Amino acid sequence: MMMSLQDVLFSQGFGTRRICSGLIQQGHVTVGPDQQLCTDPGTVLETEDLVFTVQGSRWPFQRRAYLMLHKPAGFECSHKPGAHPSVYTLLPAPLRQRAGTAAAGVQAVGRLDQDTTGLLLLSDDGKFIHRLTSPRHHVPKVYEVGTKHPVDDRQLQRLLGGVVLDDDPRPVRAAACERTGDCQLRLTLTEGKYHQVKRMVAAVGNRVETLHRSSMGPVHLPADLPPGGWRWLTQDEVVALAGGAVS
């Protein structure tokens, strides 16, 4: 796909076309692996494998953004948070301002409570988000749970057999559940109800003290991605999450 340099910057979230034009004309943008200075906003470029820098920061061109974030505790998955800062403030401004979608910027693929840590996927691809969040697709999500009281066999069997939550008469079941310590369990869910893990654990007579999402579908949170850190998803990860179909 061919685009002018000004439109490249605009599509990637670097501001209005006027701001992007100014960045280019003022010598803040270089293009290609050799970081060639380009001061003409109308320069036409091939976007495939395009890498550019803006004010010294390196960016790969991404037609759609797919990324993972290691969410720390104390952040809300909302653009308009209440008592805690927004998880979106952990991302560079261009990712929050990407153009070309109904809602500007990347959006969280589902939400984690402010005190829950772990893997959070984000994208500006609406079809991708819908596929991962729709209960129709049963995408597994794995949680590492710390409980107040020791986990016994009866609690494990009830979580696997199904518990009734107060907003749904149908039993909600864990797809998998195993004890990983006296007060620790690994819980796999394929749906995403409000505070589901906490409410399921409470329904079997225990209480969640810590909650961490370690994986979603085939993607696992890397051990070397620190809390608050993010990275682009690889093409293989995107295809695996999307079931082979990426818009």
Q: Which residues are designated catalytic?
A: 113
Q: 144 forms bridges with which residues in the sheet?
A: 186, 212
Whole-angstrom distance, CA of residue 144 vs CA of residue 137: 22
162's tokens: 């199904």
Contact 30, 52 (CB under 8 A): yes
Contact 131, 243 (CB under 8 A): yes
DSSP string, 67-102: EEEEEPTT-BSSSS-SSS-BGGGGS-HHHHH--SSS
Cα–Cα–Cα angle for 231, 233, 238, rounded to 5 degrees: 165
Unique residue bearing structure tokens 């907003």: 167
